[in-house]
A = this chain, B = another copy of it.
Amino acid sequence: MKITIKDIAREAGVSTATVSHVINGTKNISEGKTKLIKGIIDKYNYVPDIRAKNLRNLKTKTAGLVVSSFPDSHVSGIVNGVGKRARELGYQMLFINTIEDQEYEKETIKLLSSHMVDGIIITPSKMDSQYLKKYIEQNLPIIQVLRYDPNLPLIPKVTMDDFQAGYDATVHLLQHGHHHIGLIYAKADVTSTTGRIEGYKAALKDYHFTFNESYLELGNATVEGGLKAIKHLINREKQITSLFVLNDLMTVGAMQGLTALSLKCPEDIALIGFGDFPAANITSPPITNVSMSSETVGQTAFDVLLNKINNPSYSRHIQIPASLMIRRSCGC
């Protein structure tokens, strides 16, 4: 038997309006009745039906978080950061992982847009996310995190400063005398990748070295992917003396690959990873990493979403800086 506000009202001998008011403190009700009603509510452990409440109020106090992959600590840091801030601000969080599947992503957004949430934080699976346009036209608050569609200028963004991070890491390698720098990326067609590669190119250019397309290799964001990638890359481009790996799991794979190839790090091949994970300083050698605070990204993302909800014209792009955590794999 489900118990409703009517039941409470009946038992208290008052109207539903009165009960509603004591629940929400929205009007002055006499002390006596207040106490009586609260007692009955407690007795039955009554909680107002949130579906009805939402329907009436046009607010759900929940936000959607749609990410496109979830294996690494980076994404889980973001989930954590968003969740933390959401909690602080009294929001619930609906979490969906699209596993890089844009069709599912579209379905998901469609569903969430049906007043399931008050706003959405999304890591789009593809650079082209024009399908989002119709939602912003409908004034559904959406923001992008980590990755974005450059042709969606009205949607706020919270990302890493990928260009700068790529630039800095590359310069570091360059300054250690490495001109042949292999780069293993997780996924093409995504701004987090392209931004970092732009930074890599810019550094090369500033130091007067030519960019070599075939120094780039796809690693699919997994350990095995990183392992395979490094084997291909080093077989193909034997002059490579250093590696820039754009994701934690691939970094682990790359280190395994180096061992498999009997290559010493950093003597034969220097390496800088991207992301940074707790164990990075107990590996052999400890791994230099572009370190980023994914929790910060998550928290900021939620704040930005709230901004967007309260001010529909908000459209800022916030770039969180990364920093180079120097350990031994880079040859320092």
Contact = CB atoms under 8 A, between A and B. Distances in A.
A249 B278 contact: yes
A79 interface: yes
Interface residues of A, number: 53
A76 interface: yes
A51 interface: yes
A95 B83 contact: yes
A50 B83 contact: no
B115 A50 contact: yes
Contacts of A249: 278
9 contacts: A47-B113, A50-B111, A70-B76, A80-B97, A92-B96, A94-B94, A95-B95, A256-B282, A282-B284
A180 to B, nearest CB: 23
Contacts of A284: 282-284
Contacts of A76: 70, 73, 75-76, 79
Contacts of A24: none
How many copies, total? 2
A52 B55 contact: yes
Contacts of A307: none
Nearest to A46: B114
Interface in A35-67: 45, 47-52, 54-55, 60, 62, 65
A114 B73 contact: no
A148 B279 CA distance: 30
Question: Nearest 10 CB-CB pairs, A to B?
Answer: A284-B284, A76-B76, A95-B95, A279-B279, A47-B114, A50-B114, A51-B55, A255-B282, A51-B54, A252-B278
A9 interface: no
A138 interface: yes
A314 interface: no
A252 B282 contact: yes
A281 interface: yes
A73 B45 CA distance: 36
A318 interface: no
A71 interface: yes
A246 interface: no
Contacts of A252: 278-279, 282
Given A50-B115, A70-B80, A70-B83, 14 more contacts: A49-B114, A50-B114, A52-B55, A65-B95, A76-B76, A84-B97, A92-B94, A93-B95, A94-B94, A248-B278, A249-B278, A252-B278, A255-B282, A256-B281
A12 interface: no
A280 to B, nearest CB: 7
A55 B53 CA distance: 10
A54 B115 CA distance: 11
Contacts of A94: 62, 92-95
Contact of A277 (B65, B256, B279): B279
A115 B49 contact: yes
Contacts of A45: 134, 138
A232 interface: no
Contacts of A65: 95
